[in-house]
Amino acid sequence: MTNNNAAVAKAPLSQKIGYGFGDMSSSMFWKIFTAYLPFFYSTVFGLSLVDATFLMLVTRIWDAVSDPMMGIIADRTQTRWGKYRPYLLWIAVPFAVSGVLLFTTPDLGYEGKRVWAYVTYILMMTVYTAINVPYGAMLGVMTADSDEKTVFSSFRMFFAYAGSFIVLAGWEPLCRLFNRFQGIDPAVNDPTSWQSAMIAIATVCLILFVLCFKMTRETVKSVAKETSVGSDLVTLFKNAPWWIMLGGVLFFNLFNSARYTVGPFFFASVIGEGAHLQIFSFEFLFYAGIFFAVGEVANMAGVAMCPWITSKIGKKSTFVYSLILLIGLSSLFFFIPLTSGGYWLMMLMQVIISIITGVVSPLVWSMYADIADYAELKFNTSSTGLIFSSSSMAQKFGGAFGGSAVTAILAAVGYSTEAGAVQTEAALVWVRALMSFFPAAVAAVSLIFLSFYPLTTKRMKEIQGELEIRRNAQPAE
């Protein structure tokens, strides 16, 4: 049995960087899916907004439901590399290939393309689950210290946002570059160029997951008894902190998903194609990719601040105060004027909102690790994978409902995806509301859940102390 006293020691920097590489890879895919997939399906691939909405809802619900299944499988995996780490190696290639297929537009009729979209989207999300759920669960077995888990989680999210910045800033220029290779107008959304851009991104993601596998280690072994799947599920449903976090995280991710989904529509119709940001005599194109890419850099700043803030006021208080700020700032976004000065104010607002979400993001995973420790102490079961998969499930449900709600509302208010279409005034107002009041409302629901979260800093110190006594009482192998 692993020496748990050693596990509490500070992990080497290389492991933290390696762990960060894993979510850098996942986030590069996830941010493309969140920000560009609805636009891709409705504008490049050729589905109607209604069909794209139903597609994203059905496939994301399947994806979310499959997460606990993968958590159960990972919890029962036994290899010389550990329970969760081997999946980073086994699934890396299918992960990359599935991403390319997802952004491939086949030469089929409308119904054939719709079937292709369902098959490739379900395949991609299934593979994403197979690699991302074990990756997330690794946080619970790389260190036994709650504060060190926050540090690991902060490295994870810092690299995640770095990857997100790369793809959000580079996606549209990359597609334009492949257009030029084909002699096509850079402004055209060409299906072949979108596929080529995804091949380039997928190759990088494959390499990152292999590096994550090579640079990380599982060092903590639970002393809880082995239980049946049914027993694990029963204890999970009895876990009150898990239920509270499930609701809070679902709506927090819905907040993020809604903003990313409506972003390309907001810039295409409200901001327009010719908008620029000007600094003295220099002008920069103001488009969705640069707006969200700047947000990713701000996210990274928030992640770096997270350990310091939580050490001062605790994880729960940090989460709660952050949600209050997100509600207020998101609401104010609606009233920013559509002028050159207003565009700069939008960028400033995006930076502040992103710093706040960057502070929150590591907390989600660190708090789920705390919930896993709580479950081990209270129920004497080892179900780290199952508990972490619920966070992934909440993320995907939030993405499913956030993205689908946005496209469904746009379809209902008469938003047109036809090239060169002039939108109605009502549709434009709805787009602006979806970028502001809608995220504010779902953040408010997340706040309600988090106000009931019971695992404070004081309670977690008590839990860690009791677990350390229990683990040290076990004979070494």
Tell me, yes or no, whether 79 lies in a domain. yes
Question: Which residue in 187, 180, 169 sits closest to 44, CA to CA?
Answer: 187
| 307 band by pLDDT with thresholds 50, 70 and 90 | confident
Kindly state whether residue 32 falls inside one of the protein's structural domains.
Answer: yes
- Name residues whose C-beta falls within 8 Å of residue 470's C-beta, 6 or more positions apart in sequence: 223, 377
Task: Give a yes or no: residue 241 inside a domain.
Answer: yes
Which range of residues forms the domain containing residue 376? Answer: 4-472
- Split at pLDDT 50, 70, 90, the class of 422 is confident
Cβ neighbours of residue 98 closer than 8 Å, sequence gap 6 or more: 120, 123, 124, 127, 128
- Asked if residue 477 is part of any domain, the answer here is no
Flag whether pLDDT at 317 surpasses 80: yes
- pLDDT at position 288 is 82
* Distance (Å, whole) CA 403 – CA 261: 6
Q: Which residue has the tokens 């299934």?
A: 126
Residue 55 domain-assigned (yes or no):
yes
User: Which letter does DSSP use for residue 41 in this model?
Assistant: I
- The pTM score is 0.72
Is 270 part of a structural domain of the chain?
A: yes
Residue 223 — very low, low, confident or very high, per pLDDT cuts 50/70/90?
low
Residues 6+ apart with CB under 8 A from 363: 150, 153, 306, 310, 315, 318, 319
Give 421-462 as a DSSP string. Answer: PPPPHHHHHHHHHHTTHHHHHHHHHHHHHHTT----HHHHHH
Question: What is the pLDDT, as a whole number, of residue 230?
Answer: 78
Over the stretch 327-348, which tens digit does the pLDDT of each residue have?
999 999 999 998 888 999 999 9
| pLDDT value of residue 1 | 35
pLDDT tens digits, residue range 5-64? 444 567 889 999 999 999 999 999 988 987 788 889 988 998 988 888 788 778 777 776
Mean pLDDT across the chain: 87
Which CATH number covers residue 345? 1.20.1250.20
Which residues touch 96 (CB under 8 Å, ≥6 apart)? 202, 203, 205, 206
Which tops the pLDDT comparison, 272 or 335?
335
- Are 315 and 366 in contact, with CB atoms under 8 Å apart? yes
- Give the model confidence (pLDDT) of 113-164 as tens digits: 999 999 999 999 899 989 998 998 898 889 888 788 888 988 998 898 889 8
Q: How far apart are CA 260 and CA 403, in angstroms?
A: 8
Total domain count, the chain: 1
What's the whole-number mean pLDDT along residues 348-359?
A: 95
Q: Is residue 409 part of a domain?
A: yes
On whether residue 271 sits in a domain, the answer given is yes
